[in-house]
Chains A and B, each alone.
Chain A
Amino acid sequence: GAGVSQSPSNKVTEKGKDVELRCDPISGHTALYWYRQRLGQGLEFLIYFQGNSAPDKSGLPSDRFSAERTGESVSTLTIQRTQQEDSAVYLCASSLDRALYGYTFGSGTRLTVV
C-alpha cells in the first residue's frame, strides 16, 4: 500500500484481557519496527524485524508482550493480560532496509486499558 496501515485505530480493553494490534507495512520495506508512545512522552522502542533475521526484542518491557511477522508482510503485536500501564499509542514503522533510510510511521493504535 501507499503507507503503513495500523488497525484498529483505537482499542479499549478491560484489564487482564489480551489484545492484538496489526501493522501492514509499505510493500518492499524489509524492516519493521514497533514503538510505544505514552501520553506526552517520547517514542519507546519495542521490537524490530528485518527480513528473515531473528527479531531484535530488546525493547519489549515484559514477557506479556510479543510480536510476530511473517516474511516481509504483516506484523502483529500481542499484549497478554493487559495492565493499565499498557495504555499508550502503539506505533508501527517500516523502512526500506535500515534505520538510516528513514522510517515511515503508521498513525498508531491508541490502546486504553480500563
Chain B
Amino acid sequence: QQQVKQSPQSLIVQKGGISIINCAYENTAFDYFPWYQQFPGKGPALLIAIRPDVSEKKEGRFTISFNKSAKQFSLHIMDSQPGDSATYFCAATARGGNKLTFGTGTQLKVEL
C-alpha cells in the first residue's frame, strides 16, 4: 500500500514536444505529491509539488495534473528542451508523514 508506481521507465521526446510521466498510488492517506529531477552525478532536486486540494499546478513549463478519484498524478513538461533530459521521480507522503515514498523513476531524453 506504500508503493508509488511510475511509468514509463524511459521516454524519448523531440525538442518542443510534450513529455508526460505518470504515477499511481494506493495509500489514500497520501496528501503531498512532489516531483524530483535528477541529473547524472547529482542528487534529486525538488521540481514541483501538489496537494490533493487542487487538480493542477503549473510552474513555468512544468505542470502536475492530479486525479484524486483515480489516485493518479502526472507530470507534463511542455516545450521539452534537451536540458530537460534527466531522470524524474514522483513521490508521495501522508499528512504528518516522516518520509517520502518514491516511484522507480523515468529516464527522459529530449532529442534535437
Contact = CB atoms under 8 A, between A and B. Distances in A.
Say if A and B assemble together.
yes
Interface stretch (A37-45, A69-77, A80-88): A37-45
Contact of B89 (A42, A48, A56, A102): A42
B96 interface: yes
Contacts of B95: 100
B44 interface: yes
Given A31-B98, A48-B99, A56-B98, A99 B93 contact: yes
A97 to B, nearest CB: 10
A35 B102 CA distance: 10
Contacts of A99: 32, 93, 97-100
A110 to B, nearest CB: 9
B44 A98 contact: no
Interface residues of A, number: 24
Given A42-B89, A42-B105, A99-B93, A48 B98 contact: yes
Contact of B97 (A43, A93, A98, A104): A98
A107 interface: yes
B104 A42 contact: yes
Interface of A: 4, 31, 33, 35, 40-43, 45, 48, 50, 56, 91, 93, 98-100, 102-108
Interface of B: 6, 32, 34, 36, 41-46, 49, 89, 93, 95-105, 107
